Copies of this chain bind each other. A is one copy, B any other.
Amino acid sequence: MNNGIRAYAPASVSNVACGFDIMGFAIDQPGDTVTVRLTPNPGVHIRSVSGIPCSLPMDGTRNTAAAPVIALLKHCKTRMGAEIDIHKGIPVSGGIGSSAASAVAAAIACNALLDLGMSKHELLPFAIEGEKIASEAVHVDNLAPSLLGGFCLIRGYDPIDIVPVRAPRQLWCTILHPHMEINTRESRKLLPRSVPLADVIRQTGNAAGLIAGLLQEDFGLISRSLHDVVAEPVRKHLIPGFEPMKDAALSAGALGCGISGSGPSLFALSTSEQTANAVGMAMGSVLTSLRHGWSVVVSGINQTGARIIPANNDEPA
């Protein structure tokens, strides 16, 4: 037995309005912390789940943190097993990459525990094993930013082609979390099977515009590009007060606002922490007026991604 290795992986916003299934970025907090310990007997067990209350499967084959560990142990051909402690900082089914962060943190911790020396890019396929449990198809637009930090473009899926995209340092993110859950699988069923050509042109123009805005540090262009004509029109109806919340965010000075992942959380991007706070309050007021519970997080963009937490550091984040 040993003390195990602990890793932190940040929450992330996928889709980013115009980048359906191809864009994501990581935020500094919240995040999930996963500790992995080797055991002499084979098998991977979830020893504990703490933090935000949730009902994650404790079964190793159905838990997003366990799957990467199982895959890495198999890769090493070791006969040892592992036990896992999960500290959830990210609400499950909230739309900010909860399952991805647990999978990433587990992969990062296990890589260090087994002294594999794999790069983050090399660990991606193992982290994907966790995400496969949460979603029918493989999506890496939460995994990639949680692992690598910053903004990530997923240029293609066959093979997976992740492009880190430099973003202006002064961007701040507001996450408004309405107190409800949306199941990712159910939310995907709402998506259109095909998109009118005129909307394809809008979406490609905006996705390309967002990349140009980030790389050229053009906040006006970022703002003009943050529109989603593919998923938002069908998914927004699942979220109470979506339209007035979005209007409130923009009125309070946000560059743009949309559904984070498959929801129900909304994200907004702003050019200062002060504006990001005001945006959160403006959005929350809408939900309060609807007598709907909510919480808000204001965070900078996480630039470094998942990381090992030294053993003497008791604070997960």
Q: How far is the CA of A215 from the CA of B161 in the complex (A)?
A: 17
Task: Name A208's contact: one of B166, B195, B202, B207 (CB within 8 Å).
Answer: B207
Contact partner of A193 (CB less than 8 A), chosen from B22, B196, B230, is B196
Cα-based distance from A201 to B212 in the complex (angstroms): 18
Interface contact A19-B197, CB-CB below 8 Å = no
What DSSP secondary structure best describes chain A's contact surface? mixed
Nearest-neighbour CB distance to chain B for A92, whole angstroms, equals 25
| Residue pair B202, A200 in contact (C-beta under 8 Å) | no
Which residues of B have CB within 8 Å of A154? 205
**A193 near B197: Cβ-Cβ < 8 Å:** yes
Q: Report, as a range, how many residues of chain A touch the other chain.
A: 35 or more
Task: Name the one of B20, B194, B196, B221 contacting A204, with C-beta atoms under 8 angstroms.
Answer: B20
A155 part of interface (Cβ distance < 8 Å): yes
Q: How many copies does the complex hold?
A: 2
Are B194 and A196 closer than 8 Å at their CB atoms?
A: yes
**Residue pair B165, A212 in contact (C-beta under 8 Å):** yes
Of the residues B194, B195, B211, B224, contact of A211 by C-beta under 8 Å: B211
Within 8 Å CB of A20, what residues of B? 200-201, 204
A interface residue numbers (CB < 8 A to B): 18-23, 153-157, 161, 163, 165-166, 191-197, 200-212, 215-216, 218, 221, 224-225, 230
Chain A to chain B contacts (Cβ below 8 Å), 28 pairs: A18-B204, A19-B204, A19-B208, A20-B200, A20-B201, A22-B205, A22-B208, A23-B208, A153-B205, A154-B205, A155-B208, A155-B209, A155-B225, A156-B206, A156-B224, A157-B201, A161-B205, A161-B209, A191-B197, A192-B197, A195-B195, A195-B200, A200-B230, A207-B207, A207-B208, A208-B211, A211-B215, A212-B215
